Amino acid sequence: QKEVEQDPGPLSVPEGAIVSLNCTYSNSAFQYFMWYRQYSRKGPELLMYTYSSGNKEDGRFTAQVDKSSKYISLFIRDSQPSDSATYLCAMSTSNDYKLSFGAGTTVTVRA
Amino acid sequence: EPEVTQTPSHQVTQMGQEVILRCVPISNHLYFYWYRQILGQKVEFLVSFYNNEISEKSEIFDDQFSVERPDGSNFTLKIRSTKLEDSAMYFCASSRRGGRRETQYFGPGTRLLVL
């Protein structure tokens, strides 16, 4: 089983739709959960950072963590064409510095 | 807004040649990282670096790789004898501290092609 699995894309949604992105993980030592956005030929850019189970909201973005199910989600409300990018989930344990990434989901928001 | 910069943006090299990828982390950051992303695959951790020494490395980071902070601003990744499978996008990242809650800021990457 892969350490971090991310729903494969690509996703194509109309402008204004809700985008739902998901990752599962197998390592119960993961304590810190992140979502990065990566535009074509650019580096990953941090969108959301969560530590505990539950929801965290930032503008149109909501990150959800369910540690009991080893499942995290990112929701994008009122999606815009500028949200078109690849979204990467990433995780780390409390013992190391490295981030473990999912494979990424490419999202296209159609105007 | 401060950002991580990387040079060159693209590099083409022959198999067996040495390459040095350069990064300028954000100025008040103390922890530095290299990741790579082979085309179509995940971003993979290579190494983290603090206080002029490696703090953590992955199994990918074997003897052909080395990192250095040659001065107060640059952070480099050297690949001594490149292989075809080293072709990838290499990302440098930095963070203010090494705590697990610290955000890692990524540069735009260097695309390395080994022929």
DSSP B40-91: TS-EEEEEEEETTEEEEE-TT--TTEEEE--SSS-EEEEESS--GGG-EEEE
**How many Å lie between the alpha carbon of B53 and the closest alpha carbon of chain A?**
14
Contact list in B for residue A103 (CB cut-off 8 A) is: 41-42
Tell me the chain B residues in contact with residue A46 when contact means C-beta distances shorter than 8 Å: 103-105
Tell me the pLDDT tens digit for each residue of A7-66: 878 999 999 999 999 999 999 999 899 999 999 878 999 999 988 788 999 999 999 999
C-alpha gyration radius of chain A: 13
Whether B59 and chain A come into contact, CB under 8 Å, resolves to: no
Q: How high is the pLDDT of residue B100?
A: 62
> Which residue among A4, A31, A44 sits closest to B106, beta carbon to beta carbon?
A44
Cα gap A70→A66, rounded to integer Å? 6
Mean pLDDT of B22-41: 93
pLDDT at residue A19, rounded to an integer: 97
In angstroms, the CA A32 to CA B16 distance is 39
> What local confidence, expressed as pLDDT, does residue A40 receive?
85
What separation, in Å, do the N-terminal and C-terminal C-alpha atoms of chain A show? 38
Tell me the range of A5-9, B40-44, B90-94 where mean pLDDT is highest. B90-94
Task: Find, in chain B, the residue whose alpha carbon is nearest to that of A41.
Answer: B108
- Rounded to the nearest angstrom, the minimum Cα separation between A109 and chain B is 21
CB contact under 8 A, A97 and B106: no
State pLDDT tens for residues A61-111.
Answer: 999 999 999 999 999 999 999 999 999 999 998 877 889 999 999 999 999
The span from the CA of A11 to the CA of A74, in Å, is 14
Q: What is the dihedral of CA B85, B91, B93, B98, to 10 degrees?
A: -20
CB B109 within 8 A of CB B91: yes
Residue A2 has pLDDT above 80, yes or no: no
Interface A:B, Cβ pairs < 8 A: 58
Tell me the pLDDT band of B101, cut-offs 50, 70 and 90: low
Lowest mean per-residue pLDDT among A75-84, B6-15, B37-46: B37-46
Closest CA to A4 of A44, A48, A35: A35
Distance CA A20, CA B86 (A): 34
More confident position, A94 or B77: B77
